[in-house]
Amino acid sequence: MKYSYFPGCSLKGLGRAYEESLLPVMKHLGVELQELDDWNCCGATAYMAVDEAKACVLAARNLALAEKSGLDQIMAPCAACYLVLNKAKHYFHDYPAMKATMDRALGAVGLHYSGDTPVRHPLDILLNDVGLDAIKQKVEKPLKGLKVATYYGCQIVRPYATFDDQYNPTTMDRLMEALGATVVHYPLKTKCCGGSLTGTLPEAGIRLVYILLNEARKWGADCIATVCPLCQFNLDGYHSQVKAQYGGDVLVPTVYFTQLMGLAFGLSDKQLGLNRAAVPFKWRPVLPAEPTPVPAG
Partner 1 sequence: MVSIKQDIRIGFYVCHCGHNIASMVDCPEVARYVERLPGVVLSRDYKYMCSDPGQELIQKDIKEFDLNRVVVASCSPLLHEHTFRTAVAAGGLNPFFFHMVNIREHDSWVHTDRQEATAKAKALARAAIRRVAFHKALEVKQVPVHPDVLVVGGGIAGIHAALTLANAGKKVFLVEREPSIGGHMAKFDKTFPTLDCAACILTPKMSSVGTHENITLWSYSEVVKMDGYVGNYTVTVKRKPRYINEDLCTGCQECVANCIYKEPKFTDEFNEGLGKRKPVYIPFPQATPQVVLIDPDVCLNFKRGVLTDKCKKTCVEACGDRKAIDFKQKEQLIEIKVGTIIVATGFQAFDAKRLPHYGYGTYPNVYTALEVERLVNASGPTAGEVILRDGRQPKAIGIIHCVGSRDKKTNRWCSRVCCMYSMKLAHLLKEHTEAEIYNFYIDIRAPGKGYEEFYDKLNSEGVHFVRGRVGEVTDWSMTPEEEGKLVIRVEDTLAGFVRRIPVDMVVLATGLEPHADAQDVRRLFNMSCGTEGFFLERHPKLAPVNTFTDGIFIAGCCQGPRDIPDTVAQAGAAAAEAMVLIDKGHVEQEPNTAYILPDCCGCKSCLPLCPYTAITFDEATRKAVINEALCKGCGTCVGSCPSGSIVQNLFEDEEVFSEIEGVLAD
What is the contact surface with partner 1 in residues (CB under 8 A)? 165, 167-168, 185, 187-188, 211, 215, 218
Which residue, 66 or 188, is less far from partner 1 as judged by CB? 188
* Least Å from the CB of residue 225 to partner 1: 18
Cβ proximity to partner 1, 73 vs 182, nearer residue = 182
Min CB(167)–partner 1 separation in Å: 4
Q: Please report how close the Cβ of residue 256 comes to partner 1 at its closest, in angstroms.
A: 23
- One-letter amino acid identity for 245? Q
> What is d(CA 139, CA 104) in angstroms, rounded to the nearest whole number?
48
CB-wise, 1 or 204, nearer to partner 1?
A: 204
What is the smallest separation between the CB atom of 154 and partner 1, expressed in angstroms? 14
Which of 156, 180, 151 has the alpha carbon at shortest distance from 166?
A: 156
Cβ of residue 283: shortest distance to partner 1, in angstroms? Answer: 24
- Determine the 3-state secondary structure of 104 from DSSP: helix
Q: Around Cβ 120, how many Cβ atoms within 10 Å?
A: 23
The letter for the amino acid at 157 is V
User: CB of 262 within 8 A of CB of 271?
Assistant: yes
What's the CA gap between 217 and 42, in Å, rounded? 34
- Smallest separation, CB 197 to partner 1 (Å): 16
Judge contact between 18 and 229, C-beta under 8 A.
yes
Q: Confirm if 250 and 213 have CB atoms less than 8 A apart.
A: yes
CA 72 – CA 89 distance, rounded (Å) = 15
Residue 292 and residue 141 in contact, taking contact as beta carbons nearer than 8 Å: no
Measured from the CB atom, the residue of 218 and 276 that comes closer to partner 1 is 218
Q: Which is nearer to partner 1, 167 or 266 (CB)?
A: 167
Q: Which is nearer to partner 1, 165 or 269 (CB)?
A: 165
> Which candidate, 95, 91, 77, places its Cα nearest to that of 155?
77
Q: Dihedral angle at the C-alpha atoms of 148, 152, 153, 154, nearest 10 degrees?
A: -160
In the complex, what is the shortest distance from the CB of residue 268 to partner 1, in angstroms, rounded to a whole number?
36
Residue 2 has what DSSP assignment? E
Which residue, 90 or 218, is less far from partner 1 as judged by CB?
218
